[in-house]
C-alpha cells in the first residue's frame, strides 16, 4: 500500500493506467487547507530575508500566542566565502565546491565530504583581507529572527543541530510542547509533523529547488512546498506565505493552490516530450576515478558501446557528461543516461558489457542505477 498527499508521477501514472487501485481523500480531514500567499521578491531588497508581508504575519502570529515554521532548504550562515577585492571563492580542496561559512563554530565546511578549515585571514589569491559572506542559510535566518523578534523563542532544525543522538526528536518534541514560538529548518520540517499551535508557515525561497539539473526538480519542489504549507492550521485557521522570484512559475502556482491535478497537467506533457519517466524507463551509469582524463576516456568508450548495441534496439543514450558535481572526495565523476527498458536479453548484455569494462578500466569505478531517484 502506498500513501501520499503528493504521490510521485510514476505511481500516479500507474494508478491512472489501472496498474494500481487508487483511493482518494478529496479534502483535508478535520479542516481546510491553509490559503497560500505568493510574495514577489523581484526588485524588493530584503537584507534580512523577510518580506514585509512575512514580517507582518510573524508579528500577528506572535501577538496571538501562536507558532510559526520558517522553511529554508540551505544550512549554514553563508553559502560562499568570497574575497571582495578579486572575487576568489574559498573552495573545498577535494570537491571543487565553495565552502559554506558556519558562524558557530566560526569555520568553513564542505557539505559533501565534511572537509573543514579555519576562516582565512587573507585571500589566497590576492592577499586582501576583506571577505563577503555570500548567500544565506538557516543559521543566518535564525540570527536575523533573533534580531528582528528579540522576545521570540526560536528553535532550529537542520543537520547541524541534530548531530547528537536524539536531538532531532528533542527539538520536535519541544516545539510540539510549545516551548518555542518559531521553528526554522530545512526540509526536515516539511514532512509528517503535527503541530496544533502552528498557524503560519513561511517559505523564504520557494524557487530554490527549481533550478536543480534534474528532470524531477519540479516534482520535488511541488512536493516539498505542498507538504510544508500543510503544517499550518492543522487544528484551526492557518496560512502560508511563499517568497519567490518566480511568482508565475506553474509549480509554485499549483503548490500555492494545493492543486496536484494542475501540477500533473503542466509536468506530464514535458516529461512525455522529453522521453523521461513515467513514459520511459531510465538507467544512470556513474563513473568515477582519481584521474580526470582516464575517467573521461572510459566514459566515452562505454557510451560508444552502449550506443552501438542499444541504439538499433530503440534505446537512447545521453552523454557522457561531467556530473553536476564533477569532483567529490578527490574523485572525478562522469555519467551516462540510457532511456528505454532493459528486457532480460538486454540486461544480460549489459552485465557482460560492464564486466568487460571493469576488466579494461581497473582504476575506474562504474555503478549502474535503474530507475534512479536523482540524476546528479
- Mapped onto helix, strand or coil, the DSSP state of residue 201 is strand
Residues above pLDDT 70, as percent of the chain: 97
CATH assignment of the domain containing 313? 3.30.70.600
156 and 298: one domain? Answer: no
201 and 71: one domain? Answer: yes
Q: Does some domain include residue 97?
A: no
45 and 188: one domain? Answer: yes
Q: Does some domain include residue 196?
A: yes
CATH assignment of the domain containing 222? 3.40.50.300
**Number of structural domains found in the chain:** 2
Give residue 348's domain range: 282-370
62 and 160: one domain? Answer: yes
Domain boundary among 254, 273, 292: 273
Domain boundary among 273, 307, 328: 273
Q: Does some domain include residue 89?
A: no
247 and 189: one domain? Answer: yes
- Give the C-alpha separation, 35 to 143, whole Å: 28
What nine digits make up the cell of 283?
Answer: 538507467
pLDDT of residue 292: 95
218 and 173: one domain? Answer: yes
Q: Does some domain include residue 18?
A: no
Dump the DSSP string for 155-169: EEESTTTT-STTHHH
pLDDT of residue 124: 86
Mean residue pLDDT of the chain comes to 90
159 and 268: one domain? Answer: yes
pLDDT in tens, 130-173: 888 888 899 999 999 999 999 999 999 988 888 888 888 999 98
348 and 200: one domain? Answer: no
Q: Does some domain include residue 91?
A: no
pLDDT of residue 31: 65
pLDDT in tens, 187-212: 888 877 778 889 999 999 999 989 88
Q: Does some domain include residue 223?
A: yes
Residues 6+ apart with CB under 8 A from 138: 72, 74, 75, 76, 156, 158, 160, 184, 185, 186
Q: Does some domain include residue 122?
A: no
Asked whether the predicted pLDDT for residue 179 surpasses 80, the reply is yes
- Mean pLDDT on 302-322: 94
Poorest-pLDDT segment among 14-28, 44-58, 300-314: 14-28
pLDDT in tens, 70-103: 999 998 899 889 999 998 999 999 998 999 999 8
pLDDT in tens, 224-253: 999 998 888 766 788 999 999 999 999 999
Q: Does some domain include residue 100?
A: no
- Mean pLDDT on 258-284: 92
What nine digits make up the cell of 323?
Answer: 556530473
70 and 208: one domain? Answer: yes
262 and 307: one domain? Answer: no
Domain boundary among 225, 241, 273: 273
141 and 290: one domain? Answer: no
- Give the C-alpha separation, 68 to 345, whole Å: 55
What nine digits make up the cell of 216?
Answer: 524531477
Residues above pLDDT 90, as percent of the chain: 61
CA-to-CA dists, residue 364 to 117, 297, 308, 340, 359, angstroms:
30, 10, 21, 25, 10
pLDDT of residue 21: 80
pLDDT of residue 232: 83
67 and 150: one domain? Answer: yes
pLDDT in tens, 25-61: 766 666 678 899 999 999 877 767 899 999 999 999 9
Q: How many CB atoms lie within 10 A of CB 90?
A: 19
Amino acid at each position: 500500500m502506498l500513501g501520499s498527499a503528493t504521490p510521485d508521477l510514476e505511481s500516479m501514472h500507474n494508478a491512472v493506467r489501472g496498474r494500481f487501485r487508487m483511493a482518494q481523500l478529496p479534502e483535508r480531514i478535520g479542516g481546510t487547507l491553509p490559503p497560500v500567499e505568493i510574495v514577489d521578491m523581484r526588485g524588493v531588497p530584503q537584507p534580512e530575508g523577510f518580506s514585509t508581508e512575512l514580517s507582518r504575519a510573524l508579528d500577528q502570529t506572535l501577538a496571538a500566542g501562536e507558532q510559526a515554521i520558517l522553511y529554508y532548504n540551505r544550512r549554514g550562515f553563508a553559502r560562499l566565502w568570497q574575497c571582495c577585492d578579486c572575487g576568489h571563492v574559498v573552495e573545498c580542496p577535494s570537491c571543487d565546491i565553495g565552502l559554506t561559512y558556519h558562524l558557530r563554530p566560526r569555520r568553513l565546511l564542505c557539505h559533501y565530504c565534511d572537509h573543514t578549515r579555519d576562516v582565512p585571514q587573507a585571500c589566497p589569491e590576492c592577499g586582501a583581507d576583506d571577505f563577503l559572506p555570500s548567500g544565506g542559510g538557516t543559521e543566518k535566518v535564525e540570527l536575523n529572527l533573533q534580531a528582528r523578534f528579540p522576545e521570540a523563542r526560536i528553535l532550529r532544525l537542520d543537520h547541524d543541530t541534530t548531530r547528537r543522538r536524539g536531538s532531532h526528536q528533542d527539538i520536535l518534541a519541544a516545539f510540539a510542547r510549545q516551548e518555542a514560538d518559531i521553528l526554522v529548518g530545512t526540509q526536515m520540517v516539511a514532512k509528517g509533523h503535527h503541530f496544533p499551535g502552528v498557524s503560519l508557515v513561511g517559505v523564504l525561497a520557494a524557487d530554490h529547488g527549481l533550478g536543480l539539473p534534474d528532470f524531477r526538480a519540479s516534482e520535488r519542489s511541488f512536493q516539498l512546498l505542498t507538504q510544508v504549507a500543510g503544517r499550518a492550521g492543522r487544528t484551526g485557521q492557518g496560512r502560508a506565505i511563499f517568497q519567490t522570484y518566480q511568482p508565475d512559475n506553474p509549480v509554485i502556482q499549483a503548490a500555492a493552490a494545493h492543486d496536484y491535478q494542475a501540477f500533473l497537467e503542466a509536468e506530464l506533457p514535458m516529461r512525455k516530450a522529453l522521453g523521461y519517466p513515467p513514459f520511459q524507463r531510465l538507467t544512470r551509469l556513474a563513473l568515477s576515478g582519481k584521474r580526470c582524463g582516464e575517467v573521461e576516456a572510459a566514459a566515452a568508450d562505454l557510451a560508444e558501446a552502449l550506443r552501438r548495441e542499444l541504439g538499433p534496439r530503440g534505446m537512447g543514450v545521453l552523454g557522457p557528461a561531467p556530473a553536476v558535481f564533477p569532483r567529490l572526495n578527490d574523485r572525478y565523476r562522469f555519467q551516462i543516461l540510457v532511456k528505454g527498458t532493459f528486457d532480460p536479453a538486454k540486461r544480460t548484455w549489459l552485465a557482460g558489457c560492464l564486466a568487460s569494462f571493469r576488466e579494461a578500466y581497473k582504476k575506474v569505478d562504474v555503478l549502474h542505477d535503474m530507475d534512479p531517484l536523482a540524476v546528479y
